[in-house]
Amino acid sequence: MTKKKPSNDTGAALIRAAARMRDACNGLSFGEPVTHVYSPLEYAWEAHRLYLERWGNGGKRILFMGMNPGPWGMAQVGVPFGEVNVARDWLGISAEIGKPQHEHPKRRIEGFACARSEVSGRRLWGYFAECFPDPAAFFADHLVINYCPLVFMEASGRNRTPDKLPAAEQKPLLEICDRHLRDVVKILSPEWVIGVGRYARDRAEAVLDGVTIGQILHPSPASPAANRDWAGAAAKQLRALGIWQH
């Protein structure tokens, strides 16, 4: 991949790329056990657009990438790993949030009024905010995205991750997400893409060239290692990669 120096107005290019991915995903269909699919880039588009407009400008040395939105994070407020309080108070994002067309009764979208905290987002953004009290200092060199923009739920309300979809459903989805990831890297020209978790790292390795790829532990509460001291583990991994010395 040939890199060129990004322009200062990369936020607008990221917004256009996100809209292309959103529209392409509209043509996909998914079967059981998935019963509900949320697209935050549809009903929470204004918040996502604001995130890219405010924090996506300029080249980024490091791109952090998660798997897909969580039901209490980006699904609620349209921001990757979007813990409500962090999105509002540290990132300064506030917008009207709509509703998915087919809402699960156990996974209601309440937007910035959602009282439930997204643990993964609280850990990730909380660590970044501790290292960079001024968000502008963090976003001068970094951006956080998700690989896949969709949320998948079963009838029970259980979250189903993209890697658990049947191969026939994964293939067209991965093609769309791979294309978007290439677009983002072309726009931002990062030195590093850091997968937040193994799945994101594996997708980056499968899709990208000309950029160094690393991984940090996913902050999910489903991970015993993350529950012991996620911030300490992530800091150690970033130091070992030579990225941060915080």
Output DSSP code: residue 149.
Answer: -
Is residue 215 within 8 A of residue 203, CB to CB? The reply is no
Residue 166 pLDDT greater than 60, yes or no? yes
Delineate the domains of the chain, giving CATH numbers in brackets: 10-241 (3.40.470.10)
Question: Does residue 2 surpass a pLDDT of 60?
Answer: no
Indicate the length of the chain as a whole number: 246
> From residue 227, how far is each of 119, 123, 127, 144, 230 by CA, in Å?
10, 10, 14, 21, 6
Per-residue pLDDT tens digits for 83-117 = 999 999 999 999 999 999 999 999 999 999 999 98
Instruction: Please check the confidence at residue 9 and state whether its pLDDT lies above 70.
Output: yes
Tell me: cis bond preceding 172? Omega within 30 of 0 counts: no
Per-residue pLDDT of 191-202, as tens digits, reads: 999 999 999 999
